[in-house]
Amino acid sequence: MTSIINSSYFLILSTTAKESLSILEILLIALGYLTFFAVAGLFLVLLERRVAAWFQLRIGPNRVGYQGLLQTMADALKLVSKELTGTIKADKLLYNLAPYFVIITALMSLAVFPFSKQIQAFDINIGIFFLIAVSSIGVIGILLGGWASNNKFALIGAMRSGVQTISYELSVGLSLLTMILITGSLQLSEIVEVQRQGGWLILQGHIPAIIAFMVYMIAGTAETNRAPFDLVEAESELGAGFHTEYSGMKFAYFFLAEFINMFIIASIATTVFFGAWLSPFGITESIPWLGVFWFLAKAMVLVFLMMWFRWTFPRLRVDQLLTLEWKYLLPINLVNIVIMALIVWLNLTIKF
C-alpha cells in the first residue's frame, strides 16, 4: 500500500519513478483521488450552505436525505443533465477549455498533501513551491473563461480576478516563506518531520508565525475569490462574474473548483502551520492511519474559519482590496520575514 500510494499518478509524467507501477495501478489511484475529492467538494458545498444557514439563524437544506446529506449530490446530478449553452460570439475553444484549467489545477495541488505518513501521492522536494505555482495557474482559467465568453460582466470579473490573484499571490508566498525559514525545506514530508520533532510550526515560530498565519488566511481567502474578496463574482454588480455565460457541468466545474481551492488553502495551512497529520501532543502516534482523520479535522476547522469570514464581512471595493494588499499585508509580511529570520538565527524558536 505504502509503495503504491507513494508513487503517484504523476508518475506518468515523471521520469524518476521510484519503482515500476503498471499503468492500471496508476490509473486506479488517480481515479480514487479524483472520486474522493469530487465527492468531498460536493459535501463542502453542503457544509457551506448549512453553516451559512446557521450564521443567519436559518436551518438550511435538510430535506434530501438525512439532514440534507444528499442535497448537493442531487444538485450535481441536475447540473450534469442540464444543457450546455454558450454565446454565439464566444471564442469556442478557449470558452470550452477554461473550466478544465480551473478544475485540473485545483485537483493537481491535491497530489502533494501528506494526508498521513503513508498517504501522499507525490512527495517532491519543492512541495510548497509546486503548490504556490499550481494554485496560481487556476487564475488563467478564470481569465480565459471571462475573456472568451465575450460578455462585459464576465470580462470585468475576470480582470478583477487577475488583479486580485496576482496581488495576493505575493502575500501567500511570503507568509509561507516565513515558515520555510524554520523548516529549511520545501518538501512537505520534511516540513511535517520538523514539526513531529519540535511541535507545530505555529508554536515553534510563536509571534511571527501567528502573524504569518493571519496574513496567510487573509490572502488565502482572497485567492479563492471568496467573500469578503468576492468582487470577482459580485452578484450585485456583475451578475455572476466570470462564469456568467457558463451552464450545466462547465459551471459546476467552476463551482467545484472554488470549494476544492478552499480545501487546498486550508490544507496548506494545516501542513505548514498545524502539523499536517500529527495528532495534538502525539496522543495517537501509535495508530498511524488516524493521521488522515487529524489532517481532515484540522483542515475542516480552517475551512470553517473561511466560511465564518464569508458570512461576517462585507465585500471590499477594488481600491480597498489593493490598499489592503500593497499597503498593509505586503509590508507586514516583509518585516515579518526579517523578524523570523532573526528568531531562527538567534535560536529563539520554541522547541518541545
Which residues make up the interface to another protein (CB under 8 A)?
51, 53-59, 214, 308-309, 311-313, 328, 332
Q: Which is nearer to another protein, 4 or 305 (CB)?
A: 305
Picking from 210, 201, 178, 191, the residue whose alpha carbon sits closest to that of residue 330 is 178
Minimum CB separation of residue 17 from another protein in Å reads 47
Q: Which is nearer to another protein, 70 or 214 (CB)?
A: 214
Minimum CB separation of residue 222 from another protein in Å reads 14
Minimum CB separation of residue 160 from another protein in Å reads 22
SS3 246: coil
How far apart (Å, rounded) are the C-alpha atoms in residues 142 and 234?
A: 14
Radius of gyration for the chain, computed over Cα atoms and rounded to the nearest angstrom: 20
Minimum CB separation of residue 329 from another protein in Å reads 10
In Å, how far are 36, 52, 226, 315 from 318, measured between CA atoms? 36, 25, 14, 10
Picking from 76, 78, 234, the residue whose alpha carbon sits closest to that of residue 153 is 234
In Å, how far are 226, 239, 309, 323 from 147, measured between CA atoms? 20, 15, 29, 26
Q: Which is nearer to another protein, 158 or 222 (CB)?
A: 222
Minimum CB separation of residue 331 from another protein in Å reads 9
Query: In sequence order, which residues have a C-beta less than 8 Å from that of residue 280 and are 6 or more positions away?
Result: 294
Q: Which is nearer to another protein, 289 or 313 (CB)?
A: 313
Q: Which is nearer to another protein, 43 or 309 (CB)?
A: 309
Q: Which is nearer to another protein, 217 or 262 (CB)?
A: 217
Q: Which is nearer to another protein, 289 or 328 (CB)?
A: 328
Q: How many CB atoms lie within 10 A of CB 320?
A: 12
Residue 124 in contact with residue 10, Cβ under 8 Å? no
Minimum CB separation of residue 57 from another protein in Å reads 5
Minimum CB separation of residue 312 from another protein in Å reads 4
- In a 13 Å sphere around the CA of 305, the CA atoms on its Cβ side amount to 19
In Å, how far are 256, 262, 330 from 45, measured between CA atoms? 8, 11, 31
